[in-house]
Amino acid sequence: MRPFIRTIETLELDGGILCLDFVNSVRNRFENPFCEFIITPDDWLLWSRRTQICDLSTEQQIDKHISENRGKAIRELKIIIRVREALYRIFRKTAQKEQPLIKDIRFLNKKLSFSFRFLNIEINDSLETISTWNYKEPDLIYLLLPVLKSAYELLTSGLKVHIKECPGCGWLYLDKSRNSSRRWCNMKTCGNTEKTKKYYYKHKTIVPGNHNK
């Protein structure tokens, strides 16, 4: 069976929540070094489009920002990746029922303090409360703000006890199954790969060799 190959275009969104989809934007956490999907500012914009973080108008503005300010966009991307890796370490420790590193929590708090300065709420015509961002710069950091809000909401809710780590690829996900019995990030990828391996070894035919000397 041909193995499933993840790319930025085919990357599954199996985390169950935006912030976990963000930390899962690498191919396999158990690889060293791991394969990075968000390599360029354009990759980050593509991922943001796939997760519906921004509308078409904002996407066009940020695309223009990338084209006209490539150096600045690359520096912004480095910050974004630092945030992702800090979130990964925090959420992985949470999944393992361990205390996250103090330095990671402090780093996250700084980013939360920055991002929440721009957070507003509005009541629409249907009387629904919606979040909006009063952030005027059409840059890559704008796309990070909803991710940070998602991380805050997860870490301060009871849902954090349902964070699990896939034994196949190291991705993190929310186990929303009735009995908390979900084992894999995705049964069609990691789960199916494991089933294929078990089938292979179970039915492997051992051919006797010639042991005559």
Task: Give all domains of the chain, ordered by start, each with its CATH number.
Answer: 18-203 (1.10.3300.10)
β-strand partners of 173: 164
Residue 145 backbone dihedrals phi, psi, to 5 degrees: -60, -45
Six-digit token pair at 50?
A: 């796939």
- Of how many residues is the chain composed? 213
User: Residue 164: exposed, middle, or buried by beta-carbon count in 10 A (0-12, 13-18, 19+)?
Assistant: buried
Q: What is the pLDDT of residue 212?
A: 44
Q: What is the pLDDT of residue 26?
A: 94
Q: How far apart are CA 128 and CA 213, in angstroms?
A: 82
**Residue 55 CA neighbour count, 13 Å, CB half:** 3
- Start-end of H helices in the chain: 18-23, 41-50, 56-68, 70-95, 102-116, 145-155, 192-203
Q: How far apart are CA 32 and CA 27, in angstroms?
A: 11
Q: Which DSSP category does 88 fall into?
A: H
Six-digit token pair at 51?
A: 């997760």
Q: What is the reported pTM?
A: 0.86
- CB atoms closer than 10 angstroms to residue 203: 7
Q: How far apart are CA 89 and CA 155, in angstroms?
A: 13
**Over its length of 213 residues, how does the chain's per-residue pLDDT go in tens digits?**
445 567 888 899 999 999 999 999 998 999 888 899 999 999 999 999 999 998 899 999 999 999 999 999 999 999 999 999 999 999 999 999 999 999 999 999 999 999 999 999 999 999 999 999 999 888 999 999 999 999 999 999 999 999 999 999 999 999 998 888 888 998 887 966 444 444 334 444 444 554 443
The secondary structure of 125-149 as a DSSP string is TTS-EEEEE-----SGGGGGHHHHH
Six-digit token pair at 177?
A: 């199954």
